[in-house]
Structure 1
Amino acid sequence: MTARILIVDDTPLNLKLLTAKLARDYYIVSTAENGPEALAKAEQENPDLILLDVMMPDMNGFEVCEKLKSDPATANIPVVMVTALTDVTDRVHGLQAGADDFLSKPINDIALMSRVRSLLRMKMIMDEWRLREKTSHQFISPETIAQDIDTDQEAFRVLLLEDDKADEAFIKQTLTGTMNATIDCVDKIADAASMVRTGFYDVIISSLDLRSEDGLLICPQIRSNETTRHIPILMTANELEMDRVAKSLDLGANDYIVRPLDTNELLARVRNQLKHKRYYERLRKNYESSMALAMVDPLTGAFNRRYFDAHLPRMLSPTTGIYKPLAVLMVDIDHFKKINDTYGHASGDVALKAVVERVINSVRPSDLVARMGGEEFAILMPETPMPAAHSIADRLRARIADTPIALADEHKTEITVTVSIGCACVQNEQLETPANLLARADAALYEAKQTGRNKVVCDKASV
């Protein structure tokens, strides 16, 4: 996986060494020697990752990181701070500024490359969801997400895999004392894998050095399951285990914290993972909502004409090559214009929604109900021969006619609504085009309207 990486350091030798290490793995590298240059290049080049030195004159790395994260154009670029500072308060400061990780000098090559790969993987996933949402015209900017989410007040659930009682107690006390966390504790990987499949967890915190098991095994257990693969994993590890930490990142862990555990660092890392997860969930939810809007008629909740037109050809040409009966019912509300003229368009909408609700509740889950336009609807019924389609259509007609619809006016007026239905059917391997099938159903509907309404007419070629 190649990517563009911006290295920011005021020491030319450090720039040269890091550039050589990254270029060896075929990353495209650019450099900046100070904060203002870094900010300008980040906006111009839109790198996939920034390696940012902390100790720089005029504008230090913390200030640069805060400016990057406050600018919508650069807020989504992962930032790894590189520093000779070893105090935990510096790590916390960086995390609070928006950094995704800290690497200490001299840099461990294995830790560097695994962290780079891990962050680039996550960015690629998030970029894909951002692109999907942007094309659906419901883009939410990162700063909006950050403002919406109060990680200290919002309730969240943690699954803690830990067999050291002191660490377990520390993590529970830290998270429940400051944040609104519910924590479930287990000490076996099998128990964790079972619980995470049945519960709704926001973060998994797992020890890398369990006494009786290899702590690395939790990562593939979580990432291989479709329902759990997006839950953030935060590993706890000893400082001498950096090779195993690097391996955990390659296996899917999102972050790690080194023992002895620090209260503020633990809180900062958990907050960051929660914000990333909530942002991902918001992107995904908005995209799925947009897709639903593209398929569903907003007034009635039935599918729209566009979705119906895309779905019908697939039903007529099954991928299995096995052709089964397929029925189409065209449904039209009788004298609908008179309802609008007499009671108003708002009451007409109420009648429209009530009819569609009865239609949807009267057919099978496998049947497709779509609003074709105005007061006309289509029902697509797979594996339904004409006799069954006619019987279903007549029951539907009677159900609509026999139950008055209450309008939402001040008089609570009730009206009787009837429908006319035209049926057409494709039998077995009979060759049929979508246009011809719909034309036959439309012709049957026209006959029903012309010969008295409130009736069902079947296409003669289908009988």
Structure 2
Amino acid sequence: MTGTVLIVDDVATNRIVMKVKMASACYDTLQAGDGTSALALARSRRPDAILLDMNLPDLSGIEVCRQLKADPVTADIPVIIVTTSRDGAARRDALRAGADDFLSKPVRETILMARLRSLLRARQNEAELRLRDGTSRAFGLAEPGAAFTTQGTIALIAAQADTALAWRRALAPHVSDRLVMLRPAAALTATGPAPEVYLIAADLAHSGDGLRLMSELRSRGPSRHAAVCIVLPPAADGARADTTAAMALDLGAADLLPADFDPEETALRLTAQLERKRRADRLRDTVRSGLRMAVTDPLTGLYNRRYALPYLARMDERARQTGRSYAVMVLDLDRFKAVNDTFGHAAGDAVLAEVARRLLDNLRPVDLVARIGGEEFLVAMPDAHLATARAAAERLCRVVEAQPVTLPCGPDGPGGSVGVTVSIGLSIGGTGPADPPPGGPGLQGDPVAGVLGRADSALLAAKAAGRNKVTVALSAA
């Protein structure tokens, strides 16, 4: 993974040493010796990450971080504060200012590179979601979600129940979200919504079990997007500890904590992870909402042509593979223009919405109903033969005609009602058992365009024959 890292340190030697380390991992670098220069470079060059020294000649690293996070141009750039200080209060202030991590000098290169990879991966994922969301908004397909947030859930998973209980007691005064203790098996088999954040010991029953549990959680749908923070075991072997930490980050850990973690600092880290999770969820929701809007007719709630045509293509492909037939109906409201001209467009909208409801209520759950034009609908029936489809089409004619549609009230009083009928063109596609054998007249290999075109022709014939009728298309020769 390559990118550009801004190194901010008032000591030139420190900047050079860090630049060499970054170059060995194929990162490009920018350098700044004070806070003011760092802010200007960050805004003009938009680096992928910032390594920020705590002590600078003009501004503190915390103040630089605060200004970076307050500026929309630089707010999404990951910031790692690097310092010789071991002061817990300074660490907490840095996290409150928006720092993504806080590393003490001398910085262990293995941990630094793994942390950079983790932060850049998370940033790229969020940038991709923002890009999709922005595209949806550009086409008017998404709206901002509600800002209201409910209480989150943080799961605590340790090797011993006593340890998890101690974690909960320590964190409870600093966390407003729900803290629940889970056993590893329960985390994988629990039903219902998954916790937003998991705090997992790296070693459970055996060494490394926590990392394996994290991988399992990442592979399951409900917990795939949860944030996982790993609590590292106390280790005398520094090299082994670094390897475990780097492996945890590369496997998807959002953060690392020492075994003797500071409760207040950990609460800040967990809260930050929870907020990132919620932000990503909101972006995913708006993207999904935009996709739904892109394929859904807003008046009737039915699918639109953009969705229906690819669906027909997949249905045809499946029919060819299984040797079954399918039915396509094209329906058109009779004399719909007269409804709009006489009662107004609000009445016309009410008629369309009611007809859509009647169509849905009188077809199988597996059948597709779509609005493909102003007053034109399409019905696609998988695994349907001619007799079944004809009976369904005639039923639709009857239920649409059976009861007038109640119209909305207008400025002059009650809206009244209007009778509505539909004409239907029906065509059969696929290679079902009722089709003639290969070589004879039939539908074998008939493309979707042909099936749909014959249904359109049959609809015109139904209109010409007096409307409120079902006409079956002749098979392709």
Please give the TM-score of this superposition, normalised by the length of structure 1.
0.90
* Aligned equivalent of 1:311: 311
Q: In 2 relative to 1, CA 364–135 (structure 1 residues): closer, same or farther, beyond 3 Å?
A: same
Q: In 2 relative to 1, CA 320–148 (structure 1 residues): closer, same or farther, beyond 3 Å?
A: same
Q: Percent identity?
A: 38
Q: Which amino acid counterpart does residue 422 of structure 1 have in structure 2? A: G
SS at match of 2:77: coil
SS at match of 2:475: helix
Deviations 1:100-158 (A, max 9, x none): 1111100111211111111122122112111111222269xxxx99x9476xxx31112
Deviations 1:241-274 (A, max 9, x none): 4442222112211012224332321221111011
For residues 122 and 76 of structure 1, the distance between their equivalents in structure 2, rounded to whole angstroms, comes to 10
For residues 320 and 94 of structure 1, the distance between their equivalents in structure 2, rounded to whole angstroms, comes to 62
SS at match of 1:56: coil
Matched, 1:302 2:302: yes
* Aligned equivalent of 1:359: 359
Matched, 1:216 2:211: yes
* Aligned equivalent of 1:333: 333
Q: In 2 relative to 1, CA 211–381 (structure 1 residues): closer, same or farther, beyond 3 Å?
A: closer
Contact in 2 for aligned 1:174/1:267 (Cα 8 Å)? no
* Aligned equivalent of 2:324: 324
For residues 315 and 160 of structure 2, the distance between their equivalents in structure 1, rounded to whole angstroms, comes to 58
Contact in 2 for aligned 1:424/1:462 (Cα 8 Å)? no
For residues 174 and 357 of structure 1, the distance between their equivalents in structure 2, rounded to whole angstroms, comes to 56
Given the alignment, which residue of 384, 391, 411 partners 2:414?
411
* Aligned equivalent of 2:465: 451
Deviations 1:301-355 (A, max 9, x none): 1111222233334433459745532321011112222222333211221111111
> Following TM superposition, by how much is the alpha carbon of 1:356 offset from its aligned partner in structure 2, in angstroms?
0.7
Higher mean alpha-carbon deviation, 3-12 vs 36-45, is at 36-45
Deviations 1:266-311 (A, max 9, x none): 2211110111101111111111111111111111111112222333
Contact in 1 for aligned 2:62/2:94 (Cα 8 Å)? yes
Q: Which amino acid counterpart does residue 37 of structure 2 have in structure 1? A: E
SS at match of 2:40: helix
Matched, 1:160 2:156: yes
Contact in 2 for aligned 1:149/1:275 (Cα 8 Å)? no
* Structure 2 counterparts to residues 63-462 of structure 1, below 5 A: 63-137=63-137, 148=147, 154-164=150-160, 167-173=163-169, 176-186=172-182, 188-195=183-190, 198-210=192-204, 214-238=209-233, 240=235, 241-318=241-318, 321-322=321-322, 324-409=324-409, 411=414, 413-428=416-431, 430-461=444-475
SS at match of 2:204: coil
Q: Which runs of 5+ in 1 are unaligned?
A: none
For residues 89 and 431 of structure 1, the distance between their equivalents in structure 2, rounded to whole angstroms, comes to 73
For residues 11 and 424 of structure 2, the distance between their equivalents in structure 1, rounded to whole angstroms, comes to 79
For residues 320 and 449 of structure 2, the distance between their equivalents in structure 1, rounded to whole angstroms, comes to 22
For residues 110 and 407 of structure 1, the distance between their equivalents in structure 2, rounded to whole angstroms, comes to 71
Q: In 2 relative to 1, CA 138–201 (structure 1 residues): closer, same or farther, beyond 3 Å?
A: farther
Higher mean alpha-carbon deviation, 388-397 vs 201-210, is at 201-210
> Following TM superposition, by how much is the alpha carbon of 1:225 offset from its aligned partner in structure 2, in angstroms?
2.1
For residues 271 and 451 of structure 2, the distance between their equivalents in structure 1, rounded to whole angstroms, comes to 57
Contact in 1 for aligned 2:429/2:446 (Cα 8 Å)? yes
Q: Which amino acid counterpart does residue 446 of structure 1 have in structure 2? A: L
> Following TM superposition, by how much is the alpha carbon of 1:29 offset from its aligned partner in structure 2, in angstroms?
2.2
> Following TM superposition, by how much is the alpha carbon of 1:368 offset from its aligned partner in structure 2, in angstroms?
2.2
For residues 265 and 199 of structure 1, the distance between their equivalents in structure 2, rounded to whole angstroms, comes to 27
> Following TM superposition, by how much is the alpha carbon of 1:161 offset from its aligned partner in structure 2, in angstroms?
0.4
> Following TM superposition, by how much is the alpha carbon of 1:31 offset from its aligned partner in structure 2, in angstroms?
1.9
For residues 77 and 242 of structure 2, the distance between their equivalents in structure 1, rounded to whole angstroms, comes to 24
For residues 160 and 451 of structure 2, the distance between their equivalents in structure 1, rounded to whole angstroms, comes to 68
Higher mean alpha-carbon deviation, 73-82 vs 230-239, is at 230-239
Higher mean alpha-carbon deviation, 37-46 vs 18-27, is at 37-46
Q: In 2 relative to 1, CA 312–97 (structure 1 residues): closer, same or farther, beyond 3 Å?
A: same
For residues 431 and 215 of structure 1, the distance between their equivalents in structure 2, rounded to whole angstroms, comes to 54
Across the aligned residues of Structure 1 and Structure 2, the Cα RMSD in angstroms comes to 2.6
Q: Which amino acid counterpart does residue 418 of structure 2 have in structure 1? A: I
> Following TM superposition, by how much is the alpha carbon of 1:165 offset from its aligned partner in structure 2, in angstroms?
5.3
Number of residues of Structure 1 aligned to a counterpart in Structure 2: 453
Contact in 1 for aligned 2:319/2:326 (Cα 8 Å)? no
For residues 319 and 247 of structure 2, the distance between their equivalents in structure 1, rounded to whole angstroms, comes to 43
> Following TM superposition, by how much is the alpha carbon of 1:446 offset from its aligned partner in structure 2, in angstroms?
1.6
For residues 113 and 320 of structure 2, the distance between their equivalents in structure 1, rounded to whole angstroms, comes to 47
Q: Which amino acid counterpart does residue 201 of structure 2 have in structure 1? A: S
For residues 414 and 177 of structure 1, the distance between their equivalents in structure 2, rounded to whole angstroms, comes to 63
SS at match of 2:253: coil
For residues 318 and 2 of structure 2, the distance between their equivalents in structure 1, rounded to whole angstroms, comes to 40
Contact in 2 for aligned 1:329/1:393 (Cα 8 Å)? yes
For residues 389 and 401 of structure 1, the distance between their equivalents in structure 2, rounded to whole angstroms, comes to 19
For residues 179 and 352 of structure 1, the distance between their equivalents in structure 2, rounded to whole angstroms, comes to 52
Off by >6 Å, runs of 4+ in structure 1: none
Q: Which amino acid counterpart does residue 76 of structure 2 have in structure 1? A: N
For residues 225 and 320 of structure 1, the distance between their equivalents in structure 2, rounded to whole angstroms, comes to 34
> Following TM superposition, by how much is the alpha carbon of 1:185 offset from its aligned partner in structure 2, in angstroms?
1.0
> Following TM superposition, by how much is the alpha carbon of 1:387 offset from its aligned partner in structure 2, in angstroms?
2.0
Contact in 2 for aligned 1:155/1:180 (Cα 8 Å)? yes
